[in-house]
Amino acid sequence: MPAGKSEADNIIVLEYGEKPNLTQKLPHWELCEKYNLIDFELGVKITGAGFPVYRGKGARLQRALINWFLDKGRDAGFEEIQPPILVNEASGIGTGQLPDKEGQMYHLEVDNLYAIPTGEVPITNIYRDVLVKEEELPIKNCGHSPCFRREAGSYGKDVRGLNRLHQFDKVEIVQIANPTNSYSKLEEMSTYVQSLLKELGLQYRVLLLCGGDTGFASAMTYDMEVWSAAQERWLEVSSVSNFESFQANRLKLRYKTSAGNNAYVHTLNGSALALPRIVASILENFQTPEGIIVPEVLRPYCGFEIIN
């Protein structure tokens, strides 16, 4: 579990698949070195710890996942957005990152801009100060972006390799929903994320977070975790949340009801998916003595079936 979360307090909603039975159990950071996929030390040289360099088949696998996630999102009715990766203070306040999480964000003081911690921030802020029509709901967007988090206070074995980074890529899904059906949209988004994990052939579980682990902006959150056979622990790869009207109130994001009144929408978002731990899980769970087997759905995107 990530720092600050207590597995005992959260509810396991379901668990899917069987844990792989491996003939070898190398952690992904050793596999990355063995097959020259990701260079962590080179990233330290160029920038610092937590900024890895993807290369060769590692870079191609990462790009394949991004393209596949975006194509799946399009097929599910999400409009693709390529958002800015720097946002102003008003955007951070609108989605609840400021003033709560400024210590975890990279701040460009000269221009008073923030590097985004997630694509949720710029995509949701598209609709700041907007009055939408009821018949336009739900509005569904997805977008790929690099994400930046200082991860202050993170240390120890759980941050090795790709487990916790300062820069990582993620495909985010966002919905602007009618309050009357926002929780059915939350279930829909959870099911969608699970479908991606199933198609990748990864064993996973879904947690319903308790109040103490749910972010202060969220009314309800599901976490999706993938089993890491080499590290023998669960890795969080997605959170799907319903913020109800919390963000909409800050954003002044409303809709015109059929009765002619203005009311706040509900906003939802989720990772679909975060790349680092998905890459780590693929490398670890599909390793064989002959090489790492690439999930079938990714082969047309990356152009190879095995990493060896």
Instruction: Give the integer Cα–Cα distance in Å for 91 and 125.
Output: 6
- The pLDDT score that the predictor gives to residue 151 is 82
CB 123 within 8 A of CB 172: yes
- The pLDDT score that the predictor gives to residue 180 is 97
Q: What domains lie within the chain, and their CATH numbers?
A: 7-290 (3.30.930.10)
Which pLDDT tens digit goes with each residue over 128-153?
A: 999 999 999 999 999 999 999 998 65
- The pLDDT score that the predictor gives to residue 4 is 42
Which pLDDT tens digit goes with each residue over 86-100?
A: 999 999 999 999 998
- The pLDDT score that the predictor gives to residue 210 is 84
Please name every residue paired with 147 in a beta bridge, in sequence order, or none if there are none. Answer: 168
Buried b (16+ CB within 10 A) or exposed e, 254-289: bbeeeeeeeebbbbbbbbbbbbbbbbbbbbbbbbee
- The pLDDT score that the predictor gives to residue 2 is 42
The packing angle between helices 275-285 and 28-35, to 10°, is 80
- Strands of the 291-293 sheet, one edge to the other: 287-288, 291-293, 306-307
Enumerate helices (H) and strands (E) in the chain, giving the number of each.
9, 19
Enter the pTM of the model.
0.94
Instruction: Tell me 209's DSSP state.
Output: P
- The pLDDT score that the predictor gives to residue 183 is 98
- The pLDDT score that the predictor gives to residue 1 is 38
Instruction: Give the integer Cα–Cα distance in Å for 163 and 183.
Output: 30
Q: What tokens appear for 7 in the block?
A: 């597995």
* pLDDT averaged per 10 residues, the chain (length 308): 55 94 94 98 96 98 98 98 98 94 93 97 98 97 97 68 96 98 98 98 96 77 95 95 98 95 98 97 97 98 98
- The pLDDT score that the predictor gives to residue 150 is 93
Query: Cα 283 to chain center, whole Å?
Result: 18
- The pLDDT score that the predictor gives to residue 8 is 57
Nearest to 116 by CA among 141, 91, 142, 80: 91
